Amino acid sequence: MSNMVKTPENLLKIMKAAAMGDICFSHIVEYIKVGMTELEVAEEIEMTLMSLGAEGLSFPTICVSGTNSALPHGEPSLKVIEEGDFVTMDFGAVVEGYCGDMTRTIAMSHVSQEQQKVYDIVLEAQLAGLAACKAGVSCKSVDDVSRGIITAYGYGEYYIHGTGHGVGTQVHEPPTLNGKSSEVLEEYMPVTIEPGIYIPDKFGVRIEDLAIITEFGIINTVKSQKSLIII
């Protein structure tokens, strides 16, 4: 058993971390308002995870809005969240040493047709990536599936990172799910599926779940809504 494969006991820790992420996200959907800064929202995410019993954070929380959402690894800033913004939040709790990792993009007040179109493409790519996962499937083929959808819609040049990665005591562990991957998925590997589209100076969308590989498909540890939430 490679260390990419986790024991059931350790998978439960990841599932608990993911559940904290879902509870946190549902709180943030109630909490977030136009006029708040990215930093305020990021701090609320972190305080919520800690108050739920997280022993730490998987990584510094990302909360990026508007044109900042086009930066996949952007840091939360004093930018004020405005009407018409996409807000991308990427965060995770640590539970008994194991990391959660999820991302949701929501919209404030309204979206343009282009924003809705790009969101729907990322969601289609994310769902197809999840559906492609099962034991025995190559990591590269999962990336091919998600990337293929985004490319077919003409946004391939804006998908500027891999489709996912393993998760464990570190938030980024092997296997990697990208075009150069040589690993094959095995039962009880936890992996993220997180396609995105990032249009410079306009907006970005990323949707990320953390899935446990099984012989028949996946157990998705992240339950939060993925159809576009407009607040």
101 belongs to the binding site for Mn ion (CB under 5 A) = yes
192 belongs to the binding site for Mn ion (CB under 5 A) = yes
Q: What is the DSSP letter of 154?
A: T
The number of residues in the chain equals 231
- For Mn ion, give the closer residue by CB, 18 or 28: 18
Which one of 24-32, 48-56, 100-108, 153-161 is the stretch in contact with Mn ion (CB under 5 A)?
A: 100-108
- For Mn ion, give the closer residue by CB, 44 or 101: 101
- For Mn ion, give the closer residue by CB, 61 or 192: 192
Decide: 87 and 69 in contact? Cβ < 8 Å.
yes
143 belongs to the binding site for Mn ion (CB under 5 A) = no
88 belongs to the binding site for Mn ion (CB under 5 A) = no
CA distances from 182 to 5, 69, 142 (A): 16, 30, 12
Which one of 44-52, 110-118, 140-148, 187-195 is the stretch in contact with Mn ion (CB under 5 A)?
A: 187-195
The 3-class secondary structure across 60-96, one letter per residue, is CCEEEEHHHHHCCCCCCCCCECCCCCEEEEEECEEEC
Question: Of 97, 151, 98, whose CA–CA distance to 122 is shortest?
Answer: 151
SS3 of the chain: helix, strand, coil, percent, to 5: 35, 25, 40
x/- letters, 145..184, toward Mn ion (CB under 5 A) = ----------------------------------------
CB of 210 to Mn ion, least distance (A): 8
Which one of 35-43, 58-66, 97-105, 219-227 is the stretch in contact with Mn ion (CB under 5 A)?
A: 97-105
Which one of 25-33, 115-123, 192-200, 215-223 is the stretch in contact with Mn ion (CB under 5 A)?
A: 192-200
- For Mn ion, give the closer residue by CB, 90 or 186: 90
Euclidean distance between CA atoms 40 and 205, whole angstroms: 20
CB of 116 to Mn ion, least distance (A): 24
Task: Report the run of H or E that residue 132 belongs to, with start and end.
Answer: helix 113-132
Euclidean distance between CA atoms 165 and 192, whole angstroms: 5
x/- letters, 3..32, toward Mn ion (CB under 5 A) = ------------------------------
Residue 7 is encoded by which pair of tokens? 């024991």
Which residues contact Mn ion (rule: CB under 5 A)? 101, 192
